[in-house]
Amino acid sequence: MKKSKQEMHSKKEHYMQLSPEGLAKTGGALGALTWVLGLFWHGGMGQPSMMMLMYGTPYLNPFMQTGFIVLLVAGGFIGGYLTAKIYNWAVK
C-alpha cells in the first residue's frame, strides 16, 4: 500500500546524537596535531609564517609555541563541543 506524501514527511527521521565530550576531545586532539604539523613545517623546514613576517620572531620561540598549542587545543575543544551541542539541538 502506498503512503501519501504527508504520511511520509510527518514521520520524523531518527539521527544519532553526537557526544559533546567525545567531539570536544577529538577537536582538541586535532588542534594538537595541527600544532605538531606547524612546528614541523615552519620550525623544522624553515618555511615562512605570518608571525615571523609580521614580528620577526623565530617560529621556535617557546612563548609563541606555548600560546599556539594552548589556543589550538582550547579552540578545537570548544569548537568540537559547540558543534555537537548545536547538531544535537538541530536534530531534536
User: 25 lies in which domain range?
Assistant: 18-90
Tell me if 71 is assigned to some domain: yes
Tell me if 12 is assigned to some domain: no
Tell me if 27 is assigned to some domain: yes
Cell of 40: 614541523
As for how many domains the chain has, the answer is: 1
Separation between Cα atoms, residue 34 and residue 12, nearest integer Å: 38
What is the full per-residue pLDDT of the chain (92 aa) written as tens digits?
Answer: 565 655 555 556 678 899 999 999 999 999 999 999 988 988 888 788 777 778 777 778 889 889 999 999 999 999 999 999 999 999 88
Tell me if 78 is assigned to some domain: yes
Closest CA to 61 of 43, 46, 74: 43
Tell me if 69 is assigned to some domain: yes
